[in-house]
Amino acid sequence: MILALIDISLILFSGVFSLFIRFGFDFSKIANFFPSVLIEVFIISLMCAINGMYNVVWSYAGFKDLMIVFRATLSGYVVSILFFFLLRDMTLPRSVGILTFLGSLVLISGSRIFLSWWRTRRRINVGDSGKRILIIGANDEGISIMEEIERRPEIGKVVGFLDDVEKNIGRNIRGKKVLGSFEDVERILNKFRIDEVIISLPNHPSAEIRKIVDKIKDPSVSIKILPGIYELTDNRLKISQLRDLSIEDLVGRQAVSVNMEEIRKFIEGKKILVTGAGGSIGSEICRQLVRLKPKELILLGRGENSIYSIYEELSENHVIDEETKLSRVIADVSDQKRMRMVFEKYEPDVVFHAAAHKHVDLMEENPVEAFKVNSFGTKVMADLSIDFNVERFVFISTDKAVKPSSIMGLSKRFGEIYIRSVGRDSDTKFGIVRFGNVIGSRGSVLLKFKRQIEKGGPVTITDPRMKRFFMSIPEAVALVLQTVVFAEKGDLFVLDMGELIPIEKIARDMIILAGYVPDRDIKIVYTGIRPGEKLTEELFLEDEIPQPTSHPKIMRVEGNEIYPVEEISRVIEVLLELSYRNMIWEILKITEKYVPDHMINKG
């Protein structure tokens, strides 16, 4: 009601002012046309109400809302012209009518802009009593975060930005200054008494994040971070997506970019089967695949709880396109009869084979399961893919297959050997993806460290010299999807995992992130290398030659010997039979021919 009265006053002022502009101080003419001006004022005011101007929350007004003002005042002016045209007894000079319309438009729009500015200013002032926030990254994501914080003053006040683009430094972005570069973190923290840092760099790798974090020496400054680009579920950035800095941000992020439109050509409208769909890698493959609009996504696994969980997650997040069907299958990939039933029923076009046993020490104690799932199960899936004319097949392997020192690594190596052999003369295009540790997988050493720190320690490390490759699951899976494009004749692809990282350094970083001091608050204990473990992992054999692909993070490997399919098929069946009898020494004798680089019981 108050806004309506203000608008009427502004429109009336515009009309009277227009009369003075047109007739100067000739009061007789002004008095003569004043009733006509009142009619135009009434019509414009009426059109403001009809166009819904008083249903808008003007505290958050934007350009679209101001268009309502334009539409209302313009329609009021047009209706006024029609009114005076039809009612010939009254007239209104054309210039007065136009000036009244323009004056009303400018004054009402100005009042709304002022109201929005005033409310925003008040919110910012209220936020002064809260946290003082520095946003690192003056990008689209950082600006979106700043705008949402200003709409929610209880969060705090954004003091400014830091950015690595030199031309941005010193400039104002939406009223907030870019105070310096990433190198200025410590100086800006001290100068502006910053309480919280928000790192908005979803495309930056861990190494760059670590450089920034290392400069934040004040433990009282909290650090929030925007997840990596492949962890963001949609394009609508929300403040709730910010989370506390974790070890994954310091060691797992890679600068990964893939051509999703190129990948989409092989996925959209197709029936996709993912084995091990409830596991760490398999579930992330499913998350990224549903965005590419497959016709059907078949979630296969032998653990009912994990399959149920990923199905519910995909359904609840509403990421599934209306045309995408989700199917759930509980089955073991080594069960030939059951797998044939699955292929007959679903007839998949593309298979991602992620099902595997991966725990080194567990497979040392249960070798039959390693060979049954990792070797024989892979053979079953590959053979059925050929029988049912699957277009593309991607096998997920591991760096532990290189110079294997464990039964688990050896069983995965035979999976690689079979795919390379069977893919050579098949119409189905086969590809193998070999990579190292992924952060966040079930059973990960990082999760073990986290549990130990939460209990107050000690943190146990097998050997201070131990190093591993690390990559976050979303980035690794994005590269796995890219290999669908490259897969041909059983090609082996290796992901660029970055540098080997000392496990002890990760443990110490995690203790510090938890707010403790290593060796003082939380002890570190060395327990000795377990059976099958290696001090460092490798991604290539000596005779393997990495060749570049069109993607800088994916290499095609050449140089491995390829065996006849019938021969290696028989070998895998023999290995499985020997493992049932627990004849490990016989297995190792056979292994000497096909995996001469193995390190099992060689020292």
Residues 121-142 have pLDDT tens digits of: 555 554 444 688 999 988 888 8
Average pLDDT value for residue range 482-488: 88
Residues 507-538 have pLDDT tens digits of: 888 888 887 888 888 999 999 887 767 788 77
- Backbone torsion region of residue 601, taken as left when φ is above 0, otherwise alpha when ψ lies between -120 and 50, otherwise beta: left
End-to-end CA distance of the chain: 87
Percentage with pLDDT > 70 across the chain? 90
Average pLDDT value for residue range 580-591: 88
Superfamily (CATH) of domain 260-562 = NAD(P)-binding Rossmann-like Domain (3.40.50.720)
Q: How far, in Å, CA of 374 to CA of 572, rounded? A: 10
- What pLDDT was estimated at residue 11? 82
Proportion of the chain in helix, strand, coil states, percent, rounded to 5: 50, 15, 35
Q: How far, in Å, CA of 587 to CA of 603, rounded? A: 18
> Given this chain, do its domains 129-245 and 260-562 carry the same CATH topology?
yes
3-state class (DSSP) for residue 92:
coil
Q: How far, in Å, CA of 199 to CA of 225, rounded? A: 5
- What pLDDT was estimated at residue 283? 94
Average pLDDT value for residue range 208-221: 82
Mutual angle of helices 94-127 and 27-50, in 10-degree steps: 50
* Domain residue limits, the chain: 2-125, 129-245, 260-562
User: Among positive and negative, which fits the CA dihedral 161, 162, 166, 170?
Assistant: positive
CB of 199 within 8 A of CB of 150? no
Average pLDDT value for residue range 172-176: 83
3-state class (DSSP) for residue 536:
coil
- What pLDDT was estimated at residue 237? 56
Q: How far, in Å, CA of 479 to CA of 179, rounded? A: 36
Q: Which residue has the higher pLDDT, 27 or 267?
A: 267
Q: How far, in Å, CA of 170 to CA of 480, rounded? A: 41
**Strand blocks (E) in 65-124:** none
Residues 335-364 have pLDDT tens digits of: 999 999 999 999 999 999 999 998 888 998
DSSP states along 237-299: --GGG-EE--HHHHHT-------HHHHHHHHTTSEEEEETTTSHHHHHHHHHHGGG--SEEEE
Q: Which of 177, 182, 207 is nearest to 197 (CA)?
A: 182
Could you tell me the fold of the domain covering 129-245?
Answer: Rossmann fold (3.40.50)
